[in-house]
Amino acid sequence: MPTSSHQPTYPAQVRITEVGLRDGLQSEAAFVPTATKVALLERLMDAGVRHFEATSFVSPRAVPQLRDAAELLATVRRRPGVQLSVLAPNRKGVERALAADADEAVVFLSASETHNRKNLNRSIADSLQDMREIAEIARGAPMRLHGAIACAFGCPFEGDVALDQVEAIARQFAELGFSGLTLGDTTGMATPPLVRATVQRLAARVPQLPVALHFHNTRGLGLANVMEGLALGVTRYESALAGTGGCPFAPGATGNVCTEDTVHLMEQLGVQTGIDLDALCEAGRELERVLGRTLPGQVMRAGPRLRRYAAEAQAAAVG
Amino acid sequence: MPTSSHQPTYPAQVRITEVGLRDGLQSEAAFVPTATKVALLERLMDAGVRHFEATSFVSPRAVPQLRDAAELLATVRRRPGVQLSVLAPNRKGVERALAADADEAVVFLSASETHNRKNLNRSIADSLQDMREIAEIARGAPMRLHGAIACAFGCPFEGDVALDQVEAIARQFAELGFSGLTLGDTTGMATPPLVRATVQRLAARVPQLPVALHFHNTRGLGLANVMEGLALGVTRYESALAGTGGCPFAPGATGNVCTEDTVHLMEQLGVQTGIDLDALCEAGRELERVLGRTLPGQVMRAGPRLRRYAAEAQAAAVG
Residue B5 has pLDDT above 90, yes or no: no
pLDDT band at A5 (very low <50, low <70, confident <90, very high): low
**How far off is chain A from B180, nearest CA to CA, in Å?**
11
Would you state the pLDDT for residue A250? 57
What's the total number of domains in chain B? 1
How is B206-274 classified by DSSP, letter by letter? -TTS-EEEE-B-TTS-HHHHHHHHHHTT--EEEEBGGG----TTSTT---BPBHHHHHHHHHHHT-B--
Task: Give the pLDDT confidence of A31-63 residue by residue, as tens digits.
Answer: 999 999 999 999 999 999 999 999 999 999 999
Burial class (CB within 10 angstroms; exposed 0-12, middle 13-18, buried 19+) of B251: exposed
Neighboring chain A residues of B220 at a CB cutoff of 8 Å: 222-223, 258, 261, 264-265, 297-299
Using left for φ > 0, alpha for ψ between -120 and 50, and beta otherwise, residue B274 falls in left
The CA distance from A265 to A275, in Å, is 12
The C-alpha atoms of residue A189 and residue B223 are separated, in whole angstroms, by: 15
Residue A319 lies in a domain: no
- Domain annotation covers residue A258: yes
Which residues of chain A lie closer than 8 angstroms to B192, CB-CB? 227, 268-269
Which pLDDT tens digit goes with each residue over B177-224? 999 999 999 989 999 999 999 999 999 999 999 999 999 999 999 999
B-chain residues near A310 (CB < 8 A): 157
Mean pLDDT of A147-168: 96
Mutate which: B3, B18, B225, B239, vs A, most A CBs within 10 A = B3
Cα dihedral across residues A23, A26, A32, A34: positive or negative: positive
Look up B151 and say whether it is catalytic.
no
Q: Do B156 and A308 touch (CB under 8 A)?
A: yes
The DSSP symbol for A160 reads: S
Is the CB of residue A319 less than 8 Å from the CB of residue B186? yes
Residues of B in contact with A109 (CB under 8 A): none
Cα gap B83→B104, rounded to integer Å: 8
Is residue B313 domain-resident?
no
Instruction: Enumerate the active-site residues of A.
Output: 247
Range of the domain at B81: 15-302
pLDDT at residue A76 greater than cutoff 90: yes
Quick: pLDDT tens for B244-274: 997 655 556 678 999 999 999 999 999 999 9
Q: Which helix (H) or strand (E) holds A99?
A: helix A91-99
What secondary structure letter does DSSP report for A136?
Answer: H
Side-chain half-sphere of B201: how many Cα atoms within 13 Å? 19
Q: Do the domain assignments include residue A204?
A: yes
* A122 touches A104 (CB < 8 A): no
pLDDT at position A290: 97
C-alpha span between A187 and A185 (Å, rounded): 6
Q: Which residues pair with A147 in a beta bridge?
A: A107, A181
Rounded Cα–Cα distance for residues A30 and B284 (Å): 32
CA–CA gap between residue A198 and residue A165 (Å, rounded): 11
Over chain B, what is the mean pLDDT? 93
Model confidence at A251: pLDDT above 90: no
Secondary structure letter of residue A24 according to DSSP: I
Summarize pLDDT for A93-127 with one digit per residue, the tens: 999 999 999 999 999 999 999 999 998 999 999 99
The CA dihedral of A127, A132, A134, A139, to the nearest 10 degrees, is 170
- Looking at the domain assignment, is residue B6 inside a domain? no
Chain A residue closest in CA terms to B208: A1
CA distance A284 to A263: 13
Which of B19, B194, B305 shows the shortest C-beta gap to A191?
A: B305
Element counts in chain A: helices (H) and strands (E): 11, 8
pLDDT value, residue B314: 46
pLDDT tens track for B131-168: 999 999 999 999 999 999 999 999 999 999 999 999 99
- Per-residue pLDDT, averaged over A175-195, amounts to 96
Residues 6+ apart with CB under 8 A from B220: A222, A223, A258, A261, A264, A265, A297, A298, A299
Q: How far, rounded to the nearest angstrom, does the alpha carbon of residue A251 sit from its chain's CA centroid?
A: 20
CA-CA distance, B256 to B259, in Å (whole number)? 9
Contact between A34 and A69 under an 8 Å Cβ cutoff? The reply is no
The percent of residues above 70 in pLDDT, for chain A, comes to: 93
Determine the distance from the C-alpha atom of residue B55 to the mean position of all C-alpha atoms in its chain, rounded to a whole number: 12
Q: Are B305 and A224 in contact (CB under 8 A)?
A: no
**Looking at the domain assignment, is residue B2 inside a domain?**
no
Nearest residue of A to residue B53, measured between CA atoms: A319
Contacts of residues A114-120 at CB distance under 8 Å and 24 or more positions apart, as own/partner, are A114/A155, A114/A157, A114/A158, A114/B311, A115/A150, A115/A151, A115/A155, A115/A156, A115/A157, A115/A158, A115/A186, A115/B316, A116/A150, A118/A157, A118/B311, A118/B316, A119/A150, A119/B316, A119/B317, A119/B318, A120/A89, A120/A90
pLDDT the model gives residue A319:
43
Residue B309 lies in a domain: no
Helix B113-120 and helix B124-138, axial crossing angle in degrees, nearest 10: 60
Q: What is the pLDDT of residues B101-130, one digit of tens each?
A: 999 999 999 999 999 999 899 999 999 999
- Over its C-alpha atoms, chain B yields an Rg (Å, rounded) of 19
Dihedral sign for Cα atoms in the order A278, A284, A287, A293: negative
State phi, psi for B234 to the nearest 5 degrees: -70, 135
Cα distance between the two ends of chain A = 23
Buried b (16+ CB within 10 A) or exposed e, B81-110: ebbbbbbbbbeebbbbbbebebbbbbbbbb
CA-nearest residue to A115 within chain B is B316
CATH number at residue B240: 3.20.20.70
Which residue in the set B23, B196, B298 is minimally distant from A319, CB to CB?
B23
Average confidence (pLDDT) over B276-283 = 98
Distance CA B319, CA B299 (A): 21
Q: What is the 3-state secondary structure (H, E, C) of A241-290?
A: HHHCCCCCCCCCCCCECEHHHHHHHHHHHCCECCCCHHHHHHHHHHHHHH
Rounded to whole angstroms, the Cα distance separating B265 from A193 reads: 10
Instruction: Give residue A4's pLDDT.
Output: 60
Opening angle at CA A220, ends A218 and A226, nearest 5: 100
Give the model confidence (pLDDT) of B12-67 as tens digits: 999 999 999 999 999 899 999 999 999 999 999 999 999 999 999 999 999 999 99
**What is the chain A residue with the closest CA to B305?**
A189
What ipTM does this complex have?
0.93
- Is residue A9 included in any domain, yes or no? no
Q: Please report how many Cα atoms fall inside a 13 Å half-sphere around the Cα of residue B274, on the Cβ side.
A: 15
* pLDDT value of position A143: 97
Distance from C-alpha of A145 to C-alpha of A116, rounded to nearest angstrom = 19
Partner-chain contact B1 A248, CB within 8 Å? no
pLDDT for res B170? 98
pLDDT of A1 over the 90 cut: no
Collect all residues of chain A within an 8 Å Cβ-Cβ radius of residue B196.
Answer: 7
State which amino acid sits at residue B56. S
User: Hey, are the CB atoms on B247 and A160 less than 8 Å from each other?
Assistant: no
